[in-house]
Amino acid sequence: SLERRRCLYLHTGRACCQMMEVLLAALILVCSSVSGGSAGGYTGLPALGGIYYYQYGGAYSGFSGADGERAQQLDQRFYLLKLPIARAAMAVEGCLLVFPCVLILVGVLRVPWHFPAWLLIECILYIVIAVGTVPALYYFFHSLLSIYNSSVCKEREQLYQSKGYQGFWCSLHGAEIAAGLLGCMAAMAYLLSAGLAVRDYRTVHEQKQKPLQL
């Protein structure tokens, strides 16, 4: 009977929201790794297949001599510019991936039933994360746009365009835009989970009061 009650938690609305938060955090983590994991800088989701072509040296086939060395230098500098923001995004999303997993475990173990105040703490944490998502997204896109507006990116774009290469534009690419949209969806999911936590707190409080009334 205890095992059945624990499994029933996975069918509640709060558990469904938490599993959705895990999925969104995983997707944002993937998008962040795509944004900062390749020095190739191919823009747009349809062009992601070109990363493998880039990594095996095919992207430099049109360069020779000083132009080839300059392209490699610019790629390395551009990669180092994007690396801090990509690592920061991956670190944050890694934490946000673990957070709902811990809450699912807490719900399965029925901790909120024994300690209803935990639901209020959970609500506060969700609200803080949801509010903090807004400046985090602003910082993410502000940092990326400053990198794309830098002289390194502009020179790199012109150099590749002079050789007929496409996909090295100084603009946000598909994975970064997707990360922003998924971040907005995650913020809404956090607010919904906060509301469900308050609702469940009232439910648990009422159920615990019934034996005393009887």
From first to last of its 214 residues, the chain has per-residue pLDDT tens of: 555 666 788 888 899 999 999 999 999 999 888 877 654 443 333 333 444 344 434 455 566 677 777 878 888 888 889 889 988 999 999 999 999 999 999 988 888 888 889 999 999 999 999 999 999 999 999 999 999 999 999 988 888 888 777 778 888 888 899 999 999 999 999 999 999 999 999 988 888 777 554 4
Q: How many domains does the chain have?
A: 1
The pLDDT value recorded for residue 173 is: 84
How confident is the model over 6-20, as pLDDT tens digits?
678 888 889 999 999
> Within a domain: residue 74?
no
The answer to whether the beta carbons of residues 89 and 179 sit under 8 Å apart is: yes
For residue 97, the enclosing domain spans: 2-38+82-210
The pLDDT value recorded for residue 92 is: 93
> Within a domain: residue 205?
yes
> Within a domain: residue 34?
yes
Q: Residue 175: exposed, middle, or buried by beta-carbon count in 10 A (0-12, 13-18, 19+)?
A: buried
How confident is the model over 91-106, as pLDDT tens digits?
999 999 999 999 999 9
Q: How many CA atoms lie within 13 A of 197 on its CB side?
A: 28
> Within a domain: residue 48?
no
Verdict on whether the full-model pTM lies above 0.75: yes
> Within a domain: residue 68?
no
> Within a domain: residue 124?
yes
Residues with Cβ within 8 Å of residue 109, at least 6 apart in sequence: 6
Backbone angles phi, psi at 115, to 5 degrees: -130, 80
